[in-house]
Amino acid sequence: MIRLFDAQHAQLVRLAVLLGADQDAEDVVAEAFCVLHSRWYGLRAPQAAAAYLRSVVCNLVRMRIRRLQVSRRHADVPPDPVASAESTAMLHEDRRQVVDALEGLPTRQREALVLRYWLDLREREIADAMGISTGAVKSHISRGMHALSRAMGTRRGNGGSAGGGSPCWSSRY
């Protein structure tokens, strides 16, 4: 379990941040490891623990976002539009634009793109993490890339054409 933590922790925190858990990404990952620990002996394949953790992180972030949306709907105070200092320090302007564009995507498309291009997972691994078929993964990635390209093209002022090739937001940044 310690080796798994050492190998996966940073990657899972990045995943949580990219999926929308800016300020509580560490808490999400800690909770995911607690869930894994409580179900460790029930895992059919312990070598699949990393995929299970990614799936748990995706689900926990999704639940936190839903809770936040509900609480904001019922709150009298408008949400603070200022990004956290940590997020601002971590991401330079191009990456911030990509994250903003990602946040505008539907949840499943955003998850598929982050898992594919940020964590470099294969379609089968993404399907396992998201609990969907590989065909659905391909569809989410295709639609997400199209929407992301349009959004980035609009932000850069070239009318929706962000260019071809690999995404400008892969993990090498």
Identify the CATH number of the domain in which residue 120 sits.
1.10.10.10
Is there a contact between 48 and 36 (Cβ–Cβ < 8 Å)?
no
The residue among 167 and 86 whose pLDDT is bigger is 86
Same domain assignment for residues 67 and 100: no
Residue 7: inside a domain: yes
Residue 132: inside a domain: yes
Same domain assignment for residues 75 and 21: yes
Coil, helix or strand for 172?
Answer: coil
Same domain assignment for residues 72 and 117: no
**Rounded mean pLDDT of 138-148?**
93
Q: Domain containing 74: what range?
A: 1-81
Same domain assignment for residues 59 and 95: no
Same domain assignment for residues 68 and 119: no
The residue among 40 and 155 whose pLDDT is bigger is 40
Residue 83: pLDDT above 80?
A: no
Same domain assignment for residues 103 and 136: yes
Mean of all residue pLDDT scores within the chain: 79
pLDDT tens-digit profile of 95-110? Answer: 777 778 888 889 899 8
| Domain end position, chosen among 81, 102, 128 | 81
Residue 170: inside a domain: no
Structure confidence at residue 152 (pLDDT):
81
Residue 164: pLDDT above 50?
A: no
Distance CA 26, CA 78 (A): 25
Residue 144: pLDDT above 60?
A: yes
Residue 110: inside a domain: yes
Torsional class of 92: left (φ above 0), alpha (ψ -120 to 50), beta (otherwise) = beta
Same domain assignment for residues 45 and 65: yes
| Domain end position, chosen among 81, 115, 140 | 81
Residue 161: pLDDT above 70?
A: no
Same domain assignment for residues 105 and 159: yes
Number of domains the chain is built from: 2
Same domain assignment for residues 18 and 60: yes
- Angle of CA points 57, 63, 69, to nearest 5°: 135
Structure confidence at residue 162 (pLDDT):
43
> Counting beta carbons within 10 angstroms of the beta carbon of residue 105, is it exposed (0 to 12), middle (13 to 18) or buried (19 or more)?
buried
Structure confidence at residue 137 (pLDDT):
94
Residue 171: inside a domain: no
